[in-house]
Structure 1
Amino acid sequence: MNNSPEKHPTVLVADDNQEILDLLADDLSENYEVIKVTNGQEAIDYLQENMVDLIVSDVMMPYVDGYELCARLKESVSHCHIPFILLTAKINLQYKIEGLNHGADAYIEKPFSPTYLQAQISSLLRNRHHVREHYSKSPETPLQSMAFNKADQVFLQKLNSLIMDNLSEQGLCVDMLADSMHMSRPTLYRKIKAISNLSPNELINITRLKRATELLIDREFKIYEISALVGFNSSSHFTRNFQKQFGISPKEYADSIENKTL
C-alpha cells in the first residue's frame, strides 16, 4: 500500500514586499507548496526548469512587473496554460482591464481577504481538474477540450494531429512527438503533464482509445481490426486498456451506441 501523502499543488507567489510575500506564503502553505520570488524575472528563471500549478503575482515589481510577467508567460507555449492571478493596490477599473488584457485569469485588489484568495485559487485549479477528468473518462471528449486559451488550443490541435497521423505505429513515443513539435523532450513532457496531468505515453494511449471509439461507432471493422488500426499489438491488450480507461468493454460500448440509435 502507498502511504505517501498526496502532493499539494505548487503555487508560485511573486511580490517585492518581503512582508507581504511571507504573509501570502504562510496563508497558502497549508494547502499548497509555495515558491517565493521577489520579481518577475526570478519567476521566469524558476519556470525554465520547474513546473507550477498556479501563479499569484503583484503588479508593481522591479525588473519585470506583474503585467509583463503575465503577458510573457501567456505568450509562451511552454507556460500559457498556467492560471495567473494578479494582485494590485490600484483600484481603478482601467488597471483591472489592463490586467485581464495581459491574460490574467483573475484580478484581486489589495487589501484582500486571504479566504477570498484561497477560494479563487481553489476555483481555478478545481475547474482545470474537472476538465482533465472529463477528458480522460469520456470516450467522445476531444483533446482540445482541455485548452483554456488560443495558444493551448493550437498546441493541442497540432499534437493531436501528429498522434492521429501515426496512430498505427506501436513505437509512437514522446521522442517522436518532441522532434515533430520542435520542442525538447523535457519541455514537451512538462507541457503535456501540466495541461492533462498525463504523461505523453498515457496521452498517446488515450488518443488511441478515443479513435477506437469512433471506429466502433462506425461498425465497419471488427474489434481485432480496430485494435491493430489504433496501434495495439493484440485485441486482448486493447480490450483491457479500453475497459480500464472508460469502465466499459469495446463490445459493450458499441452495443450501447447502437441501442441509442434504434
Structure 2
Amino acid sequence: MEKRGGDLAIEHIPDIIISDVMMPIKNGVDLCNELKNDKRTSHIPIILLTAKVGDNNKLEGLKTGADDYIIKPFKKELLKVRVEKLIDNRKKLQARYSQEVILYPKDVAIASIDEQFLMNLQAVLDENLVESSFNIDVLCKEVGMSRMQLHRKLKALTGHSASEFIRSQRLRLASELLKKPGVNISQVGYSVGFNDHAYFSKCFKKMYHCTPTEYQKKIAKNNFD
C-alpha cells in the first residue's frame, strides 16, 4: 500500500513541500492544514499550486498556513524564485536562533505551533541543560519526537543537529556565566553539563575562537575599559 503524502512528510521531514491543491484522497489545502498543525512538520515551508483563480481561493490556502500560493500555469523561473525566497527566509531564522541563549521568539515571525515548540524546548533546557546526563534521548522523550524528527526540526529552525544544539546551548550558557567577575572557569564547565574540563575548553574554543580563560580576560578588559 502506497503511503500518503502526509505520512511521507512526517517520516522524512523534507526541507520544503510543493503540492497541488487538487489531489485524490486529500486535497492540498487539507494536507497543508494537517502538516501545519503537527509540531513535527509545522516548520516545513509549503507552496500550494492551483488552477483556481480568485482571491477567495488564495485566502483559503493561506489561512491553512501555506507559505506561498501559485496560480497555474506559471513559469518555472517563478517557482524557483519562490522556493529560493522561502529557503532564504529559513536561513535568516536559523541565523537568528543560532545566536540566542534564550529561544523565546522575539522579532521573527513564525507559526504559533513552532513558537510553542520553542517555548517548550526552552523549558526543557532550563530544567535539564546543567545535567551531564542530559542527551538527545532525554530531549526526544521530553518533546515527544523521534531522533530523526527532532534532528530535522532543529536543523530547520536553528541550523544545528540535535547533538550540536545541546552542546551549543551549553556553551552559550557558559559564555554568559563567564561574564560574571571572579567566576571559576572549571566550575563553569561542570555547571553547564561538561564532565571533562579539557573537552569543555576544546568545544568552547571551537565555537568562540578562544579558550574560556582568554574569553574571561577579554570580558574583564572590556569591562575595565
Pick the TM interval, shorter chain. Answer: 0.7 to 0.9
AA aligned opposite 2:94:
R
Task: Find out whether 1:96 has 2:58 as its counterpart.
Answer: yes
SS at match of 2:89: helix
Displacement of 1:65 after TM fit? 0.7
Q: Distance in 2 between matches of 1:261 and 1:157?
A: 36
Which position in structure 2 is the counterpart of 1:163? 125
SS at match of 2:69: strand
AA aligned opposite 1:128:
R
- Higher relative contact order (CA closer than 8 Å, sequence separation 6+): 2
Give the total of aligned pairs. 221
SS at match of 2:17: strand
AA aligned opposite 1:107:
Y
Instruction: Indicate if the aligned counterparts of 1:134 and 1:141 stay in contact, CA closer than 8 A.
Output: no
Which position in structure 2 is the counterpart of 1:108? 70
> Root-mean-square deviation (CA), in Å?
2.6
Instruction: Indicate if the aligned counterparts of 2:15 and 2:44 stay in contact, CA closer than 8 A.
Output: yes
List runs of 5+ in structure 2 lacking aligned partners. none
Displacement of 1:117 after TM fit? 0.9
SS at match of 2:40: coil
Task: Find out whether 1:120 has 2:82 as its counterpart.
Answer: yes
Q: Deviations over 1:209-248 (max 9, x none)?
A: 1111221223352211111100112333222211212334
Displacement of 1:251 after TM fit? 3.9
AA aligned opposite 1:206:
S
Task: Find out whether 1:196 has 2:158 as its counterpart.
Answer: yes
Displacement of 1:204 after TM fit? 0.8
**Greater CA deviation, 205-214 or 69-78?**
205-214
Q: Could you say if the C-alpha distance between residues 141 and 128 of structure 1 is closer, same or farther in structure 2, counting changes exceeding 3 Å?
A: farther
Instruction: Indicate if the aligned counterparts of 1:71 and 1:103 stay in contact, CA closer than 8 A.
Output: yes
Which position in structure 2 is the counterpart of 1:77? 39
Q: Distance in 2 between matches of 1:236 and 1:128?
A: 35
Which residue among 204, 214, 222 is the counterpart of 1:242?
Answer: 204
Displacement of 1:167 after TM fit? 2.1
AA aligned opposite 2:209:
G
Q: Distance in 2 between matches of 1:98 and 1:220?
A: 58
**Greater CA deviation, 68-77 or 157-166?**
157-166
Q: Distance in 1 between matches of 2:80 and 2:101?
A: 30
AA aligned opposite 1:106:
D
With structure 2 as the length reference, what TM-score do the two structures score? 0.85
Q: Could you say if the C-alpha distance between residues 127 and 252 of structure 1 is closer, same or farther in structure 2, counting changes exceeding 3 Å?
A: farther
Which residue among 205, 212, 234 is the counterpart of 2:167?
Answer: 205
Which position in structure 1 is the counterpart of 2:23? 61
Q: Distance in 1 between matches of 2:141 and 2:166?
A: 15
With structure 1 as the length reference, what TM-score do the two structures score? 0.74
Displacement of 1:252 after TM fit? 4.2
Structure 1 vs Structure 2: percent identity of aligned residues?
A: 38
Which position in structure 2 is the counterpart of 1:6? none
Q: Deviations over 1:140-167 (max 9, x none)?
A: 4533458832111211221222123122
Q: Could you say if the C-alpha distance between residues 217 and 61 of structure 1 is closer, same or farther in structure 2, counting changes exceeding 3 Å?
A: same
